[in-house]
Amino acid sequence: MINIFGGKYRGKKLEVPDGVTVPTKNRVREAVFDIYGPSIMEAKVLDLFAGSGAIALEAYSRGASYVAINEKDKGAFAVIKRNAGGFDVELLNLDYEKAIIELSKKGKVFDLVYIDPPYKEKGFYAKAVSLILQNGLVHPGSKLMLEYEEEPPKVEGDFSFSKTYRYGRTYILVLVI
């Protein structure tokens, strides 16, 4: 179990899927919201590879106006559904490519997109960022946050700002559109 550590639902316990995903460490989750700052209030947030949904539910707890949570794995998705019970969030159980296309068809545009695929799937970063940009899911000023270990993901795009933060073995690459 992990907890939401800020906002309206501070202290709410969240289940973690068994063996399927590795949840973002508390220290890293806290840093993500320190980086994003108070602009999380009223932000539109997408957690593309959600695992337990902790990043997205933390954003909702802190006042995000719209939160979309995507997780392909059926077992992890079942955990997310339980964790998100009572929260007004959109849940998707799709491959990340299909989720991007589905959200684009709905006209969704996000202020923050969190990308934390299984670390062994290095190609997912570049493809996800490319599809997000191609499908108009972000606007000038939107932030893409990529969580990774070891080698930084190779992504292409016209970014106005980028910065990498390190937390032990975990890195967060912030790209601003």
Model confidence pLDDT, tens digit, residues 71-127: 999 999 999 999 999 999 999 999 999 999 999 999 999 999 999 998 678 889 999
Segments making up each domain of the chain, as ranges: 2-176
Q: Where are the beta strands (DSSP E) in 93-154?
A: 110-115, 138-149
Phi, psi (deg, nearest 5) at residue 42: 70, 5
Q: Which fold has domain 2-176?
A: Rossmann fold (3.40.50)
Q: Are 137 and 108 in contact (CB under 8 A)?
A: yes
CA distances from 116 to 12, 45, 162, 168 (A): 22, 14, 17, 16
Rounded to the nearest angstrom, the gap between the alpha carbon of residue 31 and the centroid of all alpha carbons in its chain is 13
Whose tokens are 């890195």? That residue is 171
Please give the pLDDT value at position 145. Answer: 97
pTM over 0.75: yes
119 or 141, which is more confident: 141
